[in-house]
Amino acid sequence: MQKIECISVFDMLKVGVGPSSSHTLGPWRAAQRWIEELKQKDIFDQVESIHIDLYGSLSLTGKGHATDIAVMLGLCGFDPVTMDIDQIDPEIQLILDTRTIRLNNEKTIHFNSVEQIKFNRKFLEFHPNGMTFRAGLINGKKTVSSFYSIGGGFVVKEERKNAKKKMESFQQFPFPIEKATELLAFCKAENKPISAIVLENEKSLRSEEEIDSGLKHIWKVMLESMYTGCHTEGTLPGGLNVHRRSFDMHKRLIGDAQYNSPQEWLEVIRQTEVKFRQILKWVSCFAISVNEVNASLGRVVTAPTNGSAGTVPAVLMYYLVIENHEATFQDIKRFMLVAGEIGSLFKKGATISAAMGGCQAEIGVSSAMAAAALTEAMGGTPEQVLMASEIAMEHHLGLTCDPIGGLVQIPCIERNAMGAIKAINAAEIAMESDASKAKVPLDKVIATMWDTAKDMNSKYKETSEGGLAVKVNLSDC
């Protein structure tokens, strides 16, 4: 059996802070890991100076993606899952004002972020999102460590020490899966839907209670991010003067309805008009709201990345408020298990990093995840689930990444709405099809996505050096 890393649903759906999983969440995690490393080597107390170098895509779009802010927060010991979002600005201001940083909330040293976080245009060989942390010690020695943010908040070192552990976990899986064909074979052999196969694998990593409470938390964050986005007006930060649209869209859609919590809100939406145009608007509104929250450094669930965080929740919300008013947590759970598994197939067979594959790797994958999950939720067979996923990706192939000003706003926010609508359409087409006659298997589209990624000019891979990013000037916005 070929060895491959074990990827859990909780690797694909992670709670984090916007605006980017590869450029914000990943560097944040890398900074935390570096601090951990210093402690393990027993040299943390000796650190008297630090320097951080950001390379390649992390440098080219790092400012717009708040990479420097994320690194500083990680160095301070804050966690992206639990940090109070409202504290981000004051904490960063404190570092800038005092020209000091409190490492891991334990040790204060001099730190001038302008000079000590360097944006280098050069690319490191291992991956386009490289970063190096350097520390000067009291005894005059130096220590250096490099990390790579490979998309979706995943961080690796070149030697990939973690890979061994992950492979061992893979070996423990009752249903080890690398490709869609293997997933389908297990479904057939066991006569089970995809979600049941994925659940068995998850259960080899953690108890079912832990799985349930983890997925409930993920759904809570997803719902809250939609709720927050729909109830926050104003302009997004970053200088593009992007107006937050979900607030007005939502106001027109919801009318005078009264509610006091995200759950009550969901119930109220179930009672609203459901003509085709309204459905389109609601789904777009859900997707846009999440990505407006993401763009303002808010809390969202990476699915599979932050830039594409709106697609999966928007489609799940569509299912809950339009398709199935009787849906329970069990339906949400199945939806997420399928979405996570499809995302992991793309990560194993291609990439979920825009710096490696452009936007097809972000919005394309999120749309494929959502399409598959919706199809199973609506009663589709495993073949139809995979077909829906394939259709959704097929019509995102070649999609480039060209965020204006390096900010995850234009085209990113709208793109989530388009990904969500395509996912719903892909699910409907698959549900109406004889999937045994599908001409393009999911594995082939994953391989095609990867080939397309390799052929794509680097200026379309999260560098803001091509496409809309160069055609539209910041001064026009």
Among 68, 224, 443, 462, binds ligand SF4 (CB under 6 A): 462
Angle at 154 between CA 440 and CA 193, to 5 degrees: 45
**404 binds ligand SF4 per the rule CB under 6 A:** no
219/124 Cα distance (integer angstroms) = 37
Residues from 286 through 345 that contact ligand SF4 (CB under 6 A)? 307-308
Dihedral, CA of residue 16, residue 50, residue 165 and residue 337, to nearest 10: 10
**411 binds ligand SF4 per the rule CB under 6 A:** yes
Give the DSSP letter string of 49-70: EEEEEEETHHHHTTTTTTHHHH
Give the DSSP letter string of 302-315: ESS-STTTTHHHHH
Dihedral, CA of residue 16, residue 207, residue 326 and residue 319, to nearest 10: 40
- Is the separation of the CB atoms in 126 and 62 below 8 Å? no
**56 binds ligand SF4 per the rule CB under 6 A:** no
Among 403, 404, 446, 450, binds ligand SF4 (CB under 6 A): 403
CB of 169 to ligand SF4, least distance (A): 28
Scanning 105-113, 116-124, 141-149, 406-414 for contacts with ligand SF4 by CB under 6 A, the matching segment is 406-414
State the burial class of residue 97 (Cβ atoms within 10 Å of its Cβ: 0-12, 13-18, 19+): exposed
CB of 63 to ligand SF4, least distance (A): 14
**150 binds ligand SF4 per the rule CB under 6 A:** no
**408 binds ligand SF4 per the rule CB under 6 A:** yes
Beta carbon nearer to ligand SF4, 290 or 408: 408
Three-class DSSP category at 224: helix
272/284 Cα distance (integer angstroms) = 16
CB of 466 to ligand SF4, least distance (A): 11
Q: What is the helix (H) or strand (E) element at residue 116, kind and residue range?
A: helix 113-116
CB of 363 to ligand SF4, least distance (A): 5
358/458 Cα distance (integer angstroms) = 9
71/67 Cα distance (integer angstroms) = 6
Beta carbon nearer to ligand SF4, 152 or 380: 152
CB of 231 to ligand SF4, least distance (A): 23
Among 279, 293, 315, 412, binds ligand SF4 (CB under 6 A): 412
Alpha helices, H only, 244-362: 246-254, 262-270, 276-295, 311-318, 329-349, 354-357
**393 binds ligand SF4 per the rule CB under 6 A:** no
Residues from 67 through 106 that contact ligand SF4 (CB under 6 A)? none
CB proximity list for 328: less than 8 A, separation 6 or greater: none
Size of residue set near ligand SF4 by CB under 6 A? 13
Residue with the closest Cβ to ligand SF4? 307
**151 binds ligand SF4 per the rule CB under 6 A:** no
3/392 Cα distance (integer angstroms) = 28
Residues from 347 through 376 that contact ligand SF4 (CB under 6 A)? 354, 359, 362-363
Beta carbon nearer to ligand SF4, 88 or 413: 413
Beta carbon nearer to ligand SF4, 193 or 403: 403
235/241 Cα distance (integer angstroms) = 6
Phi-psi region of 405 (alpha: psi -120 to 50; beta: other; left: phi over 0): left
Among 236, 303, 314, 401, binds ligand SF4 (CB under 6 A): 401
Beta carbon nearer to ligand SF4, 101 or 290: 290
Residues from 413 through 442 that contact ligand SF4 (CB under 6 A)? 415
Beta carbon nearer to ligand SF4, 356 or 373: 356
> Where along the sequence are the contacts to ligand SF4 (CB under 6 A)?
307-308, 354, 359, 362-363, 401, 403, 408, 411-412, 415, 462
